[in-house]
Every structure is written in structure tokens, then in C-alpha cells.
């Protein structure tokens, strides 16, 4: 007898009683493994199974939600089966929650980079992470072709839910922009990671809408000189992405742009090779400029390391 589909929220419905029994969640220190023995109906269309916005190609997706207490980080995501693209609702949802002790480095690393006062208090953070994204970078020396891991986040103090975008980023040889500054474009056209079209740079899956990870491949630019990364951070309504508010990676194999947060809506990135517009929505858009550095890009890694923990 067919159970039919039920919409599952916090309450455990009869449908969830049968379906959830086949879901196993294992919380690891740096990942979450979700094993789900799906029904025959779901198995015929695996591309419509999601953990947050992640497809079931890997079983180490980042969590969509994050809570924070004095001693714990609480990550929450939702395993869903969505037969039809958004905005159609999911026919099945299962909450995945993992709780961890807060890493000690987070206490000193999460110092405000910029504070924006307005409708609700927004505190912006930006910094460099180490190779495995487990803590701050210990050096500002990067060898050509290696990766620069950039993390940005916004803390929301009494504010509606927001999503953070890196709208524009450029590398320059000066801490303050001037007509004489050498400029290397990284992100342009309102969220298009143009550097990824020629290298291996890309946005990584989010663990929360209020943060973003950029894995930037060190480029041939001003080698052996101090390099600063200038970024414009923008917060926006997470339910209303558009051509002007987005994060887009370039897929070299498919030779097209893909939307980080919802690949089924990658048409919003089709403007990346032209000029992107975007509708405005009053009372939501807030932006802040941040400078990160200095970095030194070298052809080898034999130089003595210099400590770097955050923005300029």
C-alpha cells in the first residue's frame, strides 16, 4: 500500500516514521556522512535528492544552518527529495543536526572586521584559512598555483535571515586603491568568479547562508610583491537571488556558469560573459568593502613564512 507523500517539518509524521528509519547520520570532526536507503520511486530520479543544496555526488556536504552557543557549534541541514524544481516544495524533508565543541581558534579569529550600523547591526568578518579550512592561515606567503582559502561571514544581530555574497573582488599591489594600482580581477559582474574560468578557483559549498568560502588559486600577478585583495561584501534576501545578487562558478567541463546555491537556477549566471543587472529590493541590500592582506605570491615556497591572521 502506497503511503503517499507528506510534508514533514518538526513533527514526526507517519510517512517520516517509515522513510526516516532508512537514514543514518554520522557526525565526524570535519564532515557529515549521510546514508539513505531510498525507495524505488526516489532511486529512479537521484538528481532530485538534496542535502541542503548539495546533490548526492559526495557524502561530505556542508551544513546549511549553524547555531552557536558559548561552548558548542550546532550545524543543521535538511535532507530532501524534490521531484520538481524550486519553487515547488519538497515532498520529503529530514532534519540532520550535528553538535560540536567550538574550536579554540574561533574565539580569537572571529574579531569584527567591519561593523555596519543600520536596520539591525551587521558585523562582517574576513580572513585567510589554512589548507584544510580548520583554522587561520599561519603564513601570508603562497606559492604560484597553490590555493588561497578566503573566508567571509556576517553576523546578524536582530535581523531578518540574510545571505552573504562576494559581489566584486580584485587583487592590487596597494592597500588603498588608486589610478596607479595594478589590478587583477577575481570576481566581477556582480558575483561571477571570473578567475575560475582560466584557473581552478571556485566558491566552495556553504555551511550557512551568512558565510562564503572562496578557494582562490594563486595567480601570476605581481610576484614577490605585496598583494592586497579588495572585496565588496553584500548581504541580501536569501529567497530572492537574481542576476545582481548571486555567486557563480565556471564549470570547465560543461563550459557554462553554475549558481553556487541552487544549480537548477544557473540561468541567473548566464549573464556572466556579458553584463549582469538585477532587481533591487529596498531595505535588504547592505554592502561593505574589506581589504585582505598583504599576501606575497612567489614562484617557490622556500622563503621564511610571515604570520597573517586577517584583513589589512
Q: How do residues 263-310 score in pLDDT, each as one tens digit?
A: 999 999 999 999 998 655 544 567 889 999 899 999 864 444 444 444
The bridge status of strand 248-251 relative to strand 183-187 is unpaired
| H or E, element range at 14 | helix 14-19
- Supply the pLDDT for residue 47: 56
* Cα angle: 232, vertex 161, 215; to 5 degrees: 40
* Cell numbers found for residue 144: 604560484
**Domain 104-277+285-298 bears CATH identifier 3.40.718.10:** no
- Supply the pLDDT for residue 53: 62
Distance separating alpha carbons of residues 275 and 268, to the nearest angstrom:
12
| Confidence (pTM) | 0.63
Cβ distance 25 to 32 under 8 Å? Answer: yes
> Which tens digit of pLDDT belongs to each residue from 193-220?
999 998 899 999 887 888 899 999 998 8
What are the residue ranges in the chain where pLDDT is below 50?
A: 1-18, 57-65, 67-70, 105, 107-119, 282-283, 301-310
Distance separating alpha carbons of residues 308 and 226, to the nearest angstrom:
13
Distance separating alpha carbons of residues 128 and 139, to the nearest angstrom:
9
Domain ranges within the chain, ordered by starting residue: 23-101, 104-277+285-298
Amino acid at each position: 500500500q502506497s503511503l503517499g507523500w507528506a510534508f514533514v517539518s518538526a513533527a514526526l509524521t507517519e510517512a517520516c516514521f517509515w522513510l526516516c528509519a532508512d537514514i543514518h547520520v554520522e557526525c565526524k570532526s570535519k564532515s557529515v556522512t549521510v546514508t539513505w536507503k531510498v525507495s524505488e520511486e526516489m532511486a529512479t530520479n537521484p538528481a532530485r535528492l538534496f542535502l541542503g543544496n548539495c546533490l548526492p555526488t559526495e557524502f561530505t556536504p556542508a551544513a546549511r544552518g549553524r547555531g552557536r552557543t558559548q561552548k558548542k557549534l550546532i550545524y543543521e541541514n535538511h535532507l530532501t527529495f524534490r521531484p520538481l524544481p524550486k519553487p515547488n516544495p519538497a515532498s520529503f524533508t529530514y532534519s540532520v543536526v550535528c553538535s560540536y565543541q567550538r574550536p579554540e581558534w574561533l574565539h580569537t579569529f572571529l574579531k569584527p572586521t567591519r561593523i555596519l550600523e543600520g536596520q539591525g547591526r551587521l558585523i562582517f568578518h574576513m580572513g585567510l584559512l589554512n589548507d584544510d579550512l580548520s583554522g587561520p592561515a599561519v603564513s601570508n606567503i603562497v606559492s604560484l598555483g597553490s590555493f588561497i582559502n578566503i573566508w567571509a561571514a556576517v553576523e546578524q544581530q536582530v535581523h531578518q535571515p540574510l545571505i552573504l555574497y562576494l559581489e566584486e573582488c580584485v587583487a592590487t599591489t596597494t592597500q588603498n586603491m588608486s589610478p596607479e594600482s595594478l589590478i587583477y580581477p577575481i570576481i566581477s559582474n556582480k558575483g561571477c568568479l571570473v578567475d575560475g574560468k582560466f584557473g581552478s578557483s571556485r566558491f566552495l559549498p556553504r555551511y550557512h547562508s551568512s558565510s562564503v568560502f572562496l578557494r582562490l588559486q594563486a595567480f601570476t600577478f605581481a610576484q614577490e610583491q605585496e598583494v592586497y585583495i579588495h572585496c565588496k561584501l553584500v548581504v541580501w534576501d536569501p529567497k530572492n537571488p537574481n542576476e545582481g545578487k548571486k555567486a557563480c562558478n565556471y564549470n570547465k567541463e560543461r563550459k557554462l556558469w553554475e549558481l553556487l546555491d541552487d544549480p537548477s537556477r544557473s540561468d541567473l549566471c548566464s549573464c556572466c560573459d556579458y553584463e549582469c543587472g538585477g532587481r533591487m529590493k529596498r531595505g535588504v541590500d547592505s554592502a561593505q568593502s574589506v581589504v585582505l592582506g598583504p599576501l606575497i605570491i612567489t614562484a617557490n615556497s622556500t622563503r621564511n613564512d610571515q604570520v597573517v591572521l586577517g584583513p589589512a
